[in-house]
Amino acid sequence: MSAREMQGTHTSTWCMGCGNFGIFHALKNVLATLSANDTVLVTGIGCSSKIAQYMNGYRVESLHGRSLPVATGVKLANHHLTVIAEGGDGDGMGLGMGHFVHTARRNLDISYFVHNNQIYGLTKGQASPTTDLGTVTKFTPPPLGNVEKPVNIAHTALSMGATFVARTFTANVPHMTEMMAAAVAHRGFAVVEILQPCVSFNAVNTYAWYKQRVRDLKEMDEYDPENQEKALALAALWGDIIPIGLFYKESRPTFDGVLPQLQAGPLVEANLQQVDITPLMQEFV
Ligand code: SF4
């Protein structure tokens, strides 16, 4: 399918100017290079997760914060599929944080694209787990604004064992496409954090705010995507400079790659007629 054919027939309800549009473009570019029959997109709930509604192909819009457990189930049922999980900062770093951490340390062969707009957009502007300190929102009023230290998505992914960690910016579609495609090509848990302005409910982290700060990692002296310590130090930068690009990549056995139960082939192709479940059932009756 071409990128144009990847677009479904549902009309988008995203606000005009939303950063999700750029991500939609990049995702279509990437999906167009993959076999539609062998690829599954799993999202959670939120503005970002609505991306599943606007695509063609196999898609699951799951529960809030649960894109990764559903993606895990899909991958373990048929590990020959390309599985992409997607969602927002609230979905993934709030309700889904436990799943994020454990998927990273297991190194499942899944790509995870996190739209980070630093706010809960669908519910109209509450602080999210990535909202910057001091940001005033409906539930973090002045004079203090948000008093909770924000989650740094790329840094957390690195420290929890993700084997591919990148950050990109929705205003740069070629860069996003490159990072997403590299994540999908990587064998292991690949996290791409995407800086994504919410034009309706985040008046602080705007396109202009990000443009002043994003810096390509390749321009930075300390850059070495094979050195985890350097990657952690660069991922921790969040202020006047916000690095984008591939922080780190390593080769490590994947969870689905080492399970003996999957060595004979995908579980969905197993002949269950020959499995005697009588002893198992007797344990429960
Ligand atoms: Fe985009 Fe924000 Fe509108 Fe949601 S509320 S569609 S994130 S601009």
Q: pLDDT per residue over 149-177, tens digit each? A: 999 999 999 999 999 999 999 999 999 99
Tell me, in angstroms, the distance from the centre of ligand 1 to residue 272's CA. Answer: 46
Reported pTM: 0.96
What proportions of the chain, in percent to the nearest 5, are helix, strand and coil?
Answer: 40, 20, 45
Measured in degrees and rounded to the nearest 5, phi and psi for residue 23 equal: -65, -40
Kind and range of the H or E run holding 190: strand 190-195
Q: Residue whose CA is closest, atom 6 of ligand 1?
A: 14
C-alpha closest to that of 116 among 125, 128, 99: 128
Contact 85, 112 (CB under 8 A): yes
Question: Among 1-5, 72-76, 121-125, 188-192, whose mean pLDDT is lowest?
Answer: 1-5
CB 139: neighbour CB atoms within 10 A?
A: 10
What is the model's pLDDT at position 197? 98
Nearest ligand 1 atom to the CA of 202 is 2
Q: What is the pLDDT of residues 114-139, one digit of tens each?
A: 999 999 999 999 999 999 999 999 89
- Relative to the CA of 125, which ligand 1 atom is closest? 5
Give me the domains of the chain, ranges plus CATH numbers. 20-284 (3.40.50.970)
Q: Supply the residue whose CA is at minimum distance from atom 5 of ligand 1.
A: 121
Residue 38's CB is within 10 A of a number of other CB atoms, namely 13
How far is 131 from 194, CA to CA, in rounded Å? Answer: 14
Q: pLDDT digits over 185-221, tens only?
A: 999 999 999 999 999 999 999 999 999 999 999 999 9
Ligand 1 atom closest to the Cα of residue 48 is: 7
Alpha-carbon distances, residue 95 vs 67, 91, 234 (angstroms): 10, 6, 26
Per-residue pLDDT tens digits for 32-49 = 999 999 999 999 999 999
- How far, in Å, is the centroid of ligand 1 from the Cα of 143? 25
Look at residue 51 and tell me whether its pLDDT is greater than 90: yes
Nearest CA to ligand 1 atom 2: 198
Token readout for 217 is: 């990692």
Q: Quote the percentage of the chain above a pLDDT of 90.
A: 91
Residue-wise DSSP of 110-141: -EEEEEE-SSBTTTTSB--TTPPTT--BTTB-
What integer best gives the mean pLDDT of the chain? 96
Q: Which one has a higher pLDDT value, 180 or 273?
A: 180
pLDDT tens digit sequence for 244-277: 999 999 999 999 999 999 999 999 998 878 888 8
pLDDT band at 1 (very low <50, low <70, confident <90, very high): confident
Residue 285 has pLDDT above 90, yes or no: no
Amino acid 277: pLDDT = 87
- CA–CA gap between residue 183 and residue 195 (Å, rounded): 16
Which of 15, 114, 126, 138 should be mutated for ligand 1, with most atoms under 8 A from CB? 15
Q: Which of 101-105, 236-240, 273-277 has the lowest mean pLDDT?
A: 273-277
- 135 in the Ramachandran plot: left (φ > 0), alpha (ψ -120 to 50) or beta? beta
pLDDT of residue 72: 98
- Note the pLDDT of residue 211: 98
Please name the residue whose Cα sits nearest to atom 3 of ligand 1.
15
